Structure 1
């Protein structure tokens, strides 16, 4: 279909940067999620790609053609907004056909393409319904069909499921992923939902304050976060502040080896990497509460210094008020000034320690 290239794109509003020196290559047929909190610049970036905002600097290329200065209608892009943006005085068929009519295509071709688009999004029999007669999920499918019927090279989705309930969001994101793979269209998807990004993306771009924190496939972003921000934003993460002296953490509950230069660090590890033990010989903590999710339990634990941690345990486990805690030494990371300085990971049964940069 198409390749998207974003080179050093910035966007300022007054003296403030919404996007700062952003670069990204999106390969043919790839689905990339722009993930970040509100105000991170992800929607502004998407609007610049679609031509609805003009960059303050940098360039945007589609198949090596510079489209930076082109208006939206001249770009080979299709955009689906959170608000659906459907015309309520038109039925579904005419909403989808509107762009094709502007192109003055033959009526027979318009009908064929609209019917194909409706079938693609699972609304084959809905052409003559008014948009006000549709559910929120159905309206979003019409908005998707309206973009796809124009056969864009790049599909842009700006938090399209944000206004829908959780079950509908989950169902629609699976359908969108299936449609995207069937059509093979290059896609950028903006979301602030980590679950959505992990479920949909070939790669995730984690953004903060208009800049890139990390770009990687979902499993790498989850298992190997490169900054403290990414570690805390993707999934549930435990953070423990400690000092390193002689290559060992000085925190009484986590005296683990961290072979880096002395100084303050933040240790990070997932709830599934924290073991609870009834033994009183291990570091003692207090159980705050236990939440049963059916397949597992999440246990909130308070340390003596006020730090609260989460541990994942078996669904049939029961813990008294006082427990011992023990992190797997092979599954933690150390951050200093938001930067990853040490990681300890396991590959098979081999244990790998890695020191990154100058600690």
Structure 2
């Protein structure tokens, strides 16, 4: 059993708080993604868990043991960096075996462990290759193998696929998820890619300015964002500033039921939850552009005040630029003062 517990951890660089009273428990075998924009504190937090940065305050424990001040080489953690951090003067075998040699394991045991982990990451037979002869994806597999061979209790991944092309990134993240589940290893994964977090995580922690905005399962974070920031950061979201009055939210011809107190509010609606139809009359909104993605199309809609919204439709050919349309949000949320004041339930016709 390997449980990571982070309690009230803070990291301050001069006058700047990179991480601010952050708390999180990662359960045994769970994969948790730290997701946020650059500067949100996610990599700093990961480095503190790995021992590469010292917290200004707070406590980090692994299986109940306080590791807050324990150096990296003595922690039961393995870290994979974005830059691979491989030794180019060593071949693949020697890169992976390095940590085992420091532990003074017998040569036959080192060979057995290295060969096994190479098979695990899909690089069986690559031990004698120089790392400079490998592709970026293969180098990242070697970096992962180098961490896994030490059998860490906690695996730490710091944007390991950021430098790879999209197709390779997608394939590798699926393989890493398969390996993680096969080993049952507790994992903390840093990324700024929302698709990566949605595809990989058991839970997502959305971070902003060193603090937590929301923690939840991927589907919950996507469908029920708790703040306007999360709503705008996860997936594509239409955010519309307007006013609630008499139980209705209004903005430039757009009106939706809003059983909430009068006052300013922000409407959030996903493109797939924004229904459009040809205007019954003159129309208050017009199609600006239609983008065909093959499996679906995105329609850019311009409101009278110039604000543009996106709607997802099955067929691009049904719509054209300049067409007048009526729009109806099928599911939406309303925010005020950084919190939800109303969330509609999606209705299926």
What's the TM-score once normalised by structure 1's chain length?
Answer: 0.94
* Superimposed CA distance per residue, residues 275-309 of structure 1 (whole angstroms, 9 cap, x where no aligned partner): 11113348521211111000110011111112110
Q: Which residue of 2 aligns with 1:143?
A: 143
CA contact (8 A) 2:31 2:186 kept: yes
Q: Which residue of 2 aligns with 1:247?
A: 247
Secondary structure of the 2:164 match is coil
Say yes or no: does 1:57 pair with 2:25.
no
Take 2:301 and 2:338, find their aligned partners in 1: how far apart are those partners? 25
Q: Which residue of 2 aligns with 1:266?
A: 266
Q: Which residue of 2 aligns with 1:356?
A: none
* Superimposed CA distance per residue, residues 114-143 of structure 1 (whole angstroms, 9 cap, x where no aligned partner): 000000000001000000000000000000
Say yes or no: does 1:165 pair with 2:176.
no
What's the TM-score once normalised by structure 2's chain length?
Answer: 0.97
Take 1:79 and 1:159, find their aligned partners in 2: how far apart are those partners? 11
CA contact (8 A) 2:288 2:321 kept: no
Q: Which residue of 1 aligns with 2:327?
A: 326
CA contact (8 A) 2:222 2:235 kept: yes
5+ residue gaps, structure 1: 350-359
RMSD of Structure 2 on Structure 1 (CA): 1.3
Q: Mean alpha-carbon deviation: is it higher for 153-162 or for 253-262?
A: 253-262
Secondary structure of the 1:236 match is coil
CA contact (8 A) 1:253 1:325 kept: no
* Superimposed CA distance per residue, residues 146-204 of structure 1 (whole angstroms, 9 cap, x where no aligned partner): 00000000000000001111111001000000000011100010000000000000000
Secondary structure of the 2:128 match is coil
Take 1:301 and 1:38, find their aligned partners in 2: how far apart are those partners? 30
Q: Mean alpha-carbon deviation: is it higher for 284-293 or for 337-346?
A: 337-346
CA contact (8 A) 1:227 1:339 kept: yes
Q: Which runs of structure 2 are paired with 1:113-262 in the superposition (5 Å)?
A: 113-262=113-262
Q: Which residue of 2 aligns with 1:275?
A: 275
Say yes or no: does 1:4 pair with 2:4.
yes
Take 1:273 and 1:253, find their aligned partners in 2: how far apart are those partners? 18
Take 1:106 and 1:47, find their aligned partners in 2: how far apart are those partners? 31
CA contact (8 A) 1:274 1:325 kept: no
Change (3 A) 1:320 1:139: closer
Aligned residues between the structures: 348
